[in-house]
């Protein structure tokens, strides 16, 4: 059931939502200050650069979308993902630059069309003979706190001793100090860290889980979602592709890594959008009308 709900979420996100007069009236009141939550240490998507400024693929994409939508962004202090999820649940921030859509998060978040779709991979020391997670039963494997892949990993690989860390960089640091036997994380983040900092480890294989990353907005402001959707769809595919290629172009090294560029534009999305509408209405009825 969760897989079906997620499929409906992902398919429906590409459906254009024509802006209404109520959307424009809402924007006059709120568009001057949209508070943005930035993940502190998740390159190449979202991180703090050497000048102390938010940077990364998702930050650059949101800036382009906001400019198209006429939104004024207020960048809040960068935080780890679990803190950001708590903040947006409490409505202390309005937008996240990056989030994986899940049915659980859809209780308090809305999502735009995903802009990348990357596999989660296993990383091991170069001297290790392990090639996949099945080879690591009883071993200590690091995984980021609050990451959507955790529940999947625990369900499908219960024999592994999962160690929760603060970030991918923290996991890889523990791997380098031999405090972990392996790490799981998305291929772009792992490639970024391995290229720049950790040379004693390498990517081996995907684990069967992917991250379709999207912009996320507080679900009690559907008008904000309409503005973001409309603006993202009006950005040219070439501009979006250039942003993605700038940050992720160098991780296309294996066949299973080749779905990094935007892949959710195309035919068949209208049916997905209708399915999403029906699913949303059923959820709304169960919760007394809240979305």
Greater confidence, 64 or 248? 64
For helices 269-286 and 2-12, angle between their N-to-C axes, nearest 10 degrees: 120
Phi, psi of 178 (to 5 degrees): 65, 25
Please check whether the two domains, 2-117+213-286 and 118-209, share a CATH topology: yes
- Looking at residue 17, its pLDDT comes to 60
**pLDDT tens sequence across 85-130:** 999 999 999 999 999 999 999 999 999 999 999 999 999 999 999 9
Binning pLDDT at 50, 70 and 90, where does residue 14 land?
Answer: very low
pLDDT for 80 equals 93
Q: Is pLDDT above 50 for 261? A: no
Assign residue 201 a region: left if phi > 0, alpha if psi is -120 to 50, beta otherwise? beta
The pair of three-digit structure tokens given for residue 181, joined into one six-digit string = 């036997």
User: Given pLDDT bands bounded at 50, 70 and 90, which one contains residue 265?
Assistant: very low
Q: What's the pLDDT score for residue 182?
A: 97
Whether the per-residue pLDDT at 264 is higher than 60: the answer is no
pLDDT at 274 over 50: no
Residue 83 has pLDDT above 50, yes or no: yes
Average pLDDT of the chain, as a whole number: 82
pLDDT number for residue 85? 96
Helices of type H across the chain: 2-12, 21-30, 57-69, 81-89, 149-156, 168-176, 187-196, 222-234, 237-248, 269-286
- pLDDT band per the 50, 70, 90 thresholds, residue 195: confident
Domain 2-117+213-286 architecture: 3-Layer(aba) Sandwich (3.40)
pTM comes to: 0.78
Q: Out of 3.40.190.10, 1.25.40.850, 3.20.20.60, 3.30.930.10, which CATH number does the structure's domain 118-209 have?
A: 3.40.190.10
Q: What percent of the chain has pLDDT over 90?
A: 64
Residue ranges covered by each domain of the chain: 2-117+213-286, 118-209
Cβ density class 192-216: b for 16+ within 10 Å, e for less: bbbeeebeebebbbbbebbbbbbbb
Please say if the pLDDT value at position 236 is more than 90: no
Between 113 and 160, the higher pLDDT residue: 160
Structure tokens at 132: 């996949």
User: Which pLDDT score is estimated for 250?
Assistant: 59
What distance in Å separates the CA atoms of residue 230 and residue 275, rounded to the nearest whole number?
19
Count of H-run helices and E-run strands, the chain: 10, 12
Out of 28-42, 75-89, 122-136, pick the least confident: 28-42
Residue 254: per-residue pLDDT? 46
Can you give the pLDDT at residue 196? 66
């Amino acid at each position: 059931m969760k897989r079906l709900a997620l499929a409906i979420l992902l398919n429906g996100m590409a459906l254009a939502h024509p802006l209404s007069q109520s959307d424009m009236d809402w924007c006059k009141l709120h568009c001057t200050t949209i508070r943005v939550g930035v993940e502190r240490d998740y390159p190449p998507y979202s991180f703090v650069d050497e000048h102390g400024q938010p940077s990364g693929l998702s930050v650059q994409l949101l800036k382009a979308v906001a400019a198209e939508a006429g939104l004024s962004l207020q960048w809040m202090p960068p935080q780890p993902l679990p803190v950001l999820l708590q903040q947006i649940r409490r409505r202390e921030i309005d937008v996240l630059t990056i989030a994986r859509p899940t049915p659980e998060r859809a209780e308090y978040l809305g999502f735009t069309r995903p802009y990348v779709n990357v596999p989660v991979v296993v990383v091991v020391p170069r001297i290790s003979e392990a090639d996949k997670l099945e080879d690591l039963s009883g071993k200590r494997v690091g995984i980021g706190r609050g990451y959507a892949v955790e529940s999947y990993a625990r369900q499908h690989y219960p024999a592994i001793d999962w160690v929760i860390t603060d970030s991918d960089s923290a996991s890889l640091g523990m791997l380098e100090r031999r405090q972990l036997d392996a790490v799981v994380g998305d291929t772009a983040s792992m490639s970024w860290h391995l290229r720049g900092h950790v040379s004693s480890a390498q990517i081996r294989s995907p684990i069967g889980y992917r991250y379709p990353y999207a912009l996320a907005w507080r679900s009690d402001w559907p008008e904000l979602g309409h503005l973001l959707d409309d603006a993202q769809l009006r950005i040219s595919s070439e501009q979006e592709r250039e942003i993605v290629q700038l940050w992720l172009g160098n991780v296309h090294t294996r066949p299973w890594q080749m779905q990094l560029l935007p892949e959710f534009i195309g035919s068949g999305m209208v049916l997905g959008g209708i399915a999403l509408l029906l699913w949303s209405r059923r959820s709304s009825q169960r919760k007394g009308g809240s979305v």
